[in-house]
Amino acid sequence: MKSRFNRHSERLIERFGEKVWRLGLDAGFSCPHRLQGRGKGGCSFCPPDAAIAAYQHDGSRIVLNLDEQIARAVAFTRYRYKARLFFLYFQAYTNTYLPADQLRALYDHAISVMEAIAPGTLRGLVISTRPDCIDREKVELIASYQRQGLEVWLELGLQSAHDQTLKRINRGHSVADFVAASNLAYDAGIRRAVHVILGLPGENRLMMLETMRFLQKNGLEGIKFHDLRLAKGSALERSYRAGEFAPLHPDRLPPLLADCLELLPASVEVLRLSSDFSRDSVLDLFPHPDKNNLYMAVEAELARRNSFQGRLVE
């Protein structure tokens, strides 16, 4: 059955002939919002380890060596999923938080390690970052990897198109910062994937849909939806325990996601529909849906409406 929304995984198969797997990495970046004191500990939803991939944990130890991380990620995905093609995914923290020349050295090193470990299997580069850590020089560097034949995605953490929400969650950047970074990436021809969190404190359904309309107007090539999870050790965990807000119940996700998808252009690739935390890293408030079950529930909701991604695009 043809999907009613534009699944990124299916588009990758079309472009590369088979599944492509992301290798989640922590390349040793931190976050300016944490280090400089302006954020008083960073964003309120962020877990202490920035949600690095589970296969980069070795017992109680988080693997820090980048070469070892790449080797572990390749071995794990090959064993678990029979993976053959890969994207290097700079995932944890703020992955443009260095001068451009140092970024080039780091990205180039990771690519060379990947080629040594799994020759001929690298198909792309994914860089996740904050909108206030992007400038023209960094964008030009990132775009240069496309000219080397790699598919490049810049993941920008917007979370909400409402400045009052960004302030409430201690995000440390504005909507205007996001627009500036997104425009730089667009001008350089880089694919942009935007992170949005559903269920942030103080936001109702209409506000979340306004974020979708904002993205529709400003443009994007991909989107990652995250339902708000209360990561252990985060400021939001403390806020919840103090009775300051009520989290979004997962039963509300399928119709809410269907509402969001109807407002996004059909060309926008959906990279994920829900957050991806290990169960022992978040508060166990209520059972969260299995990702495959959530995908099926969203498909069923769209079918019930006789609807599809982009139906309400103006």
**DSSP codes joined into one string, 58-98:** ETTEEP--HHHHHHHHHHHHHHHH----EEEEE-SS-TT-S
> Which of 86, 149, 78 lies closest to 113, judged by CA?
86
Q: What percent of the chain has pLDDT over 70?
A: 91
The pLDDT of residue 171:
87
Q: Is 169 exposed, middle or buried (0-12, 13-18, 19+ CB in 10 A)?
A: buried
How crowded is residue 244: how many other Cβ atoms within 10 Å of its Cβ? 11
Domain positions in the chain: 8-305
| CA-CA-CA-CA torsion sign (274, 268, 254, 198) | positive
Determine which helix (DSSP H) or strand (DSSP E) holds 225, and give its type and residue range: strand 222-227
Cα–Cα distance between 90 and 254 in angstroms, integer? 29
Given pLDDT bands bounded at 50, 70 and 90, which one contains residue 62? low
Instruction: Please state, rounded to an integer, the average pLDDT across all residues of the chain.
Output: 90
The pLDDT of residue 201:
92
The pLDDT of residue 83:
97
Q: Are strands 151-159 and 269-272 parallel, antiparallel or unpaired?
A: unpaired
> Taking 90 as the threshold, does the pLDDT of residue 52 lie above it?
no
> Which of 298, 299, 261 lies closest to 1, judged by CA?
299
Cα–Cα distance between 256 and 130 in angstroms, integer? 25
The pLDDT of residue 8:
98
| CA-CA-CA-CA torsion sign (238, 240, 245, 248) | positive
pLDDT in tens, 267-284: 999 999 998 776 777 777
* Residue that wins the pLDDT comparison between 224 and 229: 224
Q: Are strands 61-62 and 57-58 parallel, antiparallel or unpaired?
A: antiparallel
Give pTM, 2 decimals. Answer: 0.92
Angle (deg, nearest 10), helices 136-144 and 175-187: 40
Q: For the domain covering 8-305, report its CATH number.
A: 3.20.20.70
Q: Are 130 and 64 in contact (CB under 8 A)?
A: no
Tell me the Cα Rg of the chain. 19
Amino acid at 285: L
